[in-house]
Amino acid sequence: MTTDYTADEMMSVAAARALGDGMSCFVGIGLPSKAANLARRAHAPGLTLIYESGCLGAKPSRLPLSIGDGELADTSDAVVSVPEIFNYWLQPGRIDVGFLGAAQLDKFGNINTTVIGSDYHDPKVRLPGAGGAPEIAASCREVFVVLRQNPRAFVEKVDFVTSFGHGTGKGDRERLGLPGRGPTLVVTDLGLLRPDPETSELTLTELHPGVELERAVAATGWTLKVADDLKTTPAPTEEELTVLRDLEKASK
């Protein structure tokens, strides 16, 4: 083990560990893509990466700049149309994990990537928008979310529900007929959160090494629930850090 790593490296490693060999993963650009590509290189060579642009089984040599990066098509097992990605692969529930980022996340795992502010037509900030994230959140068998934890991102209630998590609590997904389990894991630079089995409210289950509980509580815009058996995330190994840093170096 090593202590020479950053909070972002810990987050990327923890997110990558959640992906297993043989899984299929619908990957968002940014932090989710970094974690997914790290997993494929470090411990899950059989992880199938799927990108919204139609790339199946992508094996990029560097982090893609966007879903339209030619590196994805060049290294894929197949490139299909966008309608096929959504209509045949995603919506019928054929993809194990959707890996998403967020601008805002609330205590039930609802995601906002649309607007900051209460007025959609005159927002404080207009964000990139939905893309395929709402479909990913609805139809993947489960969803992992990765983002840095602070009160601006972790809010009591998102300003706009771009991608549905657990709505207002347990049972909302079922009532809407959404096939996937929704967010089952949130990975941050401070720890890991999982939905409570009874309420679906996100609960802190692990803290990263050296992070005090008070810091995680202060970084959350709601009264954070903490698991009775709160654990400490294992620190990154030298191998994980080497693979991650080599990936980042290749992307510069």
Catalytic residue numbers, as ranges = 52
Please provide the size of the chain in residues: 252
Give me the amino acid identity at 105.
L
CA dihedral sign, ordered 122, 123, 125, 126: negative
Three-class SS string for 3-71?
A: CCCCHHHHHHHHHHHCCCCCCEEEECCCHHHHHHHHHHHHCCCCCEEEECCCEECCCCCCCCCCCCCHH
- The Cα 194–Cα 199 span in angstroms is 11
